[in-house]
């Protein structure tokens, strides 16, 4: 082999790049699986476990490759680039047009994992031709681990928010292909047929480059199958996939494939969410909204002239930017997020409450369902204890609590968790056509208002219903309720046999039982 002193640094650079690509493929397939199928912890664990297993298979197979090591390495790089580069396209196709998503995902993981497992032993053997075994192993593994670190950082911080899932797949494929092209050009004298390899590389580059250029059109094509209506906006933020659809006058927001609201019936969700705790609270001056970046909850809060300040905390600036600037959203939320009473904080809700020293009369929690540990912690006993410290005397807190019909264990787990922290917690439910039967839990901070009631659930419920009936009737002069009225208040606090309370555990940070309740409940409806 010619120029051996030059060969080792180039091969180690190749190790670094393929390590980056390998981790990126794992993260990409895990993210897509979570996006389509939910349960991020489950899918990340399974994908990473399978990848590692097939890398072991690849390492074992590498022992049977005895000659032309560099040529085989380049061939595997080309194969990796085309299979990995098209992986997002294949998974979108599988989910949108076939019932075999998991089968396609398994085949992709098996192929990618096996070839990645083949590469490192082959490169180690090539480097060993010029250095001792211990030096070769040390250098190859060091570059491999450094590449893995870089990949784990750039995927969530750079690639996903900047390019989205589809383009990221094509870019990783091009990165793999660049390793093959680099090695062909530099070591063409050591290869049996470098010209043919280059022709294949340039052909693959055309395919991947075309996919990158037309990725938006490809993405839109598949999303038309995922969503029944016309896709008006599709955006991958640093945290989630955001899609807005339209059919006639119905605007719908989806986050990671889950519907957040339909403009046709969102009032049936937001009116109970906002007005029940507002009307039960002794005061309504300082309000905290956790989530609600679309501005619809803030719109309802601003209907009370006595409100002086609204702190709205939503992790994702992409959502609050839509709520503040996008004409579809500003029309729906009546420009609420541009009110001088609204102060937006794009940070983790748990951290915000933990560091806050303010007191709030009403806290409204309008977060996504607790389908993973990151969200489940915002429904935990520890979080509710932090919130209780920030609620004024006679104040209230409400949280959306998923469906008592579709996910009853999750709903009653949230209820029990709040009940263990606050002196009173009242479950309510409402029918929202685009969601089905949906639930909330209202916590009331002691002491109760001047009405004398004993502290038991029946009397507190009776007091709450009577007060709400009077307040809703009185407020109808000032607030144009679309759904709430005196007659339906009792029904909001009434559960049928299918939604009745059940025995569940409290959700704590150290058990995260809520995420498991949620996943097991919704699994039967998929």
Q: Indicate the SS3 state at residue 301.
A: helix
Q: What is the DSSP string of 101-164?
A: HHHHHHHHHHHHHHHHHHHHHHHHHHHHTTS-HHHHHHHHHHHHHHHHHHHHHHIIIIIHHHHH
Whole-angstrom CA distances from 525 to 98, 193, 406 are: 19, 55, 8
Give the pair of three-digit tokens for residue 400: 């959306």
Which among 290, 295, 289 is positioned nearest to 336, based on CA atoms?
295
In this structure, which topology does domain 224-260 adopt according to CATH?
Spermidine Synthase; Chain: A, domain 2 (2.30.140)
96 in Cβ contact with 34 (< 8 Å): no
Q: What is the reported pLDDT for 400?
A: 96
The C-alpha R_g of the chain, in whole angstroms, comes to: 28
Give the pair of three-digit tokens for residue 342: 């609204």
Give the pair of three-digit tokens for residue 301: 């809060």
Work out whether the CA dihedral 477, 482, 485, 489 comes out positive or negative. negative
479 in Cβ contact with 456 (< 8 Å): no
Q: What is the DSSP letter of 33?
A: H
Question: Cα–Cα distance between 59 and 521 in angstroms, integer?
Answer: 40
Which among 453, 449, 448, 406 is positioned nearest to 429, based on CA atoms?
406
Q: What is the reported pLDDT for 448?
A: 55
Which among 80, 89, 93, 82 is positioned nearest to 54, based on CA atoms?
80
Beta strand 391-400 with 360-366 is: parallel
426 in Cβ contact with 317 (< 8 Å): no
Q: Indicate the SS3 state at residue 373.
A: helix
Phi first, then psi, for residue 258 (nearest 5°) are -100, 130
Phi first, then psi, for residue 244 (nearest 5°) are -120, 130
The distance from CA 324 to its chain's CA centroid, rounded to whole angstroms, is: 21
Element (H, E) at 194: helix 194-213
Question: Cα–Cα distance between 120 and 297 in angstroms, integer?
Answer: 53
Question: Cα–Cα distance between 253 and 286 in angstroms, integer?
Answer: 28
Which among 150, 154, 164 is positioned nearest to 211, based on CA atoms?
164
Question: Cα–Cα distance between 211 and 202 in angstroms, integer?
Answer: 14
Check whether domain 264-523 has CATH 3.40.50.150, yes or no: yes
Which among 125, 226, 251 is positioned nearest to 166, based on CA atoms?
226
Give the pair of three-digit tokens for residue 293: 């970046």
Contact residues for 348 (Cβ-Cβ < 8 A; gap 6+): 315
Which among 280, 350, 514 is positioned nearest to 416, based on CA atoms?
514
**Conformational region of residue 448, where left means phi above 0, alpha means psi within -120 to 50, and beta covers everything else:** beta
- 10 Å CB burial of residue 306 (0-12, 13-18, 19+) is exposed
Q: What is the DSSP string of 443-470?
A: EEPSSP-SS---SSHHHHHHHHHHHHHH
Q: Average pLDDT per run of 10 along the chain, which is 526 residues long? A: 64 87 92 77 86 93 89 93 95 89 94 92 82 72 86 88 89 94 88 92 95 88 78 84 89 88 94 96 95 96 96 95 95 96 95 93 94 86 94 94 92 95 92 92 74 63 90 88 91 86 90 85 68
In this structure, which topology does domain 4-222 adopt according to CATH?
Growth Hormone; Chain: A; (1.20.1250)
Contact residues for 160 (Cβ-Cβ < 8 A; gap 6+): 31, 168, 236, 238
Q: Which residue in this structure is represented by tokens 């790049």? A: 17
Contact residues for 353 (Cβ-Cβ < 8 A; gap 6+): 290, 383, 386, 387, 390
- Is 229 one of the catalytic residues? no
Give the pair of three-digit tokens for residue 425: 């917690």
Instruction: Single out the catalytic residue among 144, 361, 366, 369.
Output: 366
Q: What is the reported pLDDT for 8?
A: 78
Q: What is the reported pLDDT for 387?
A: 95
Give the pair of three-digit tokens for residue 508: 């704590």
Task: Give residue limits of the domains in the chain.
Answer: 4-222, 224-260, 264-523
pTM of the predicted protein model: 0.79
507 in Cβ contact with 381 (< 8 Å): yes
Q: What is the DSSP letter of 350?
A: H
Sheet containing 258-262: order of strands: 230-236, 241-247, 250-255, 258-262
């Amino acid at each position: 082999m010619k120029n051996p002193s030059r060969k080792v640094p180039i091969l180690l650079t190749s190790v670094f790049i393929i390590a980056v690509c390998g981790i990126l493929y794992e993260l990409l397939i895990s993210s897509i699986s979570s996006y389509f199928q939910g349960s991020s912890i489950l899918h990340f664990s399974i994908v990473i476990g399978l990848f590692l297993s097939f890398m072991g298979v690849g390492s074992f197979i590498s022992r049977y490759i005895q000659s032309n090591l560099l040529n085989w390495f380049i061939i595997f790089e080309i194969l990796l680039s085309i299979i990995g580069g098209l992986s997002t396209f294949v998974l979108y196709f599988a989910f949108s047009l076939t019932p075999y998503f998991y089968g396609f995902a398994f085949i992709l993981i098996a192929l990618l994992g096996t070839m990645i497992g083949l590469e490192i032993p082959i490169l180690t053997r090539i480097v060993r031709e010029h250095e001792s075994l211990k030096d070769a192993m040390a250098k190859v593994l060091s570059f491999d681990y450094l590449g893995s670190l870089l990949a784990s950082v750039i995927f969530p911080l750079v690639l996903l928010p900047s390019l989205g899932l589809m383009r990221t797949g094509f870019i990783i494929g091009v990165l793999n292909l660049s390793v093959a092209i680099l090695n062909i050009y530099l070591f063409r004298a050591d290869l049996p047929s470098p010209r043919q390899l280059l022709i294949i590389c340039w052909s693959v580059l055309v395919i991947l480059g075309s996919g990158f250029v037309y990725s938006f059109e490809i993405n839109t094509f598949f999303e038309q199958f995922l969503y029944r209506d016309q896709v008006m906006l599709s955006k991958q933020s640093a945290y989630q996939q955001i899609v807005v659809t339209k059919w006639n006058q119905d605007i719908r927001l989806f986050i990671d494939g889950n519907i957040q609201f339909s403009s046709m019936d969102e009032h049936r969700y937001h009116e109970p969410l906002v007005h029940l705790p507002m009307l039960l609270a002794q005061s309504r001056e300082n309000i905290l909204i956790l989530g609600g970046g679309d501005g619809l909850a803030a719109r309802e809060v601003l209907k009370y002239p006595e409100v002086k300040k609204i702190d709205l905390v939503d992790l994702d600036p992409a959502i609050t930017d839509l709520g503040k600037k996008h004409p579809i959203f500003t029309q729906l939320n009546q420009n609420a997020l541009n009110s001088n009473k609204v102060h937006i904080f794009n940070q983790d809700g748990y951290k915000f409450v933990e560091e806050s020293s303010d007191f709030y009369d009403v806290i409204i929690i309008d977060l996504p369902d607790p389908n993973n540990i990151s969200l489940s912690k915002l429904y935990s006993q520890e979080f509710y204890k932090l919130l209780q410290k920030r609620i004024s005397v006679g104040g209230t807190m409400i949280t959306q609590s998923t469906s008592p019909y579709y996910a009853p264990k999750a709903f009653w787990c949230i209820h029990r968790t709040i009940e263990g922290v606050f002196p009173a917690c009242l479950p309510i439910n409402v029918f929202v056509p685009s969601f089905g039967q949906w639930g909330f839990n209202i916590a009331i901070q002691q002491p109760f208002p001047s009405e004398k009631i004993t502290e038991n659930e029946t009397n507190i419920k009776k007091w709450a219903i009577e007060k709400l009936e009077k307040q809703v009737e009185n407020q109808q002069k000032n607030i144009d309720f679309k759904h709430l009225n005196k007659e339906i208040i009792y029904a909001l606090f009434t559960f049928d046999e299918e939604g009745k309370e059940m025995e569940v555990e409290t959700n704590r940070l150290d058990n995260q039982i809520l995420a498991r309740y949620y996943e097991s409940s919704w699994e039967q409806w998929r």
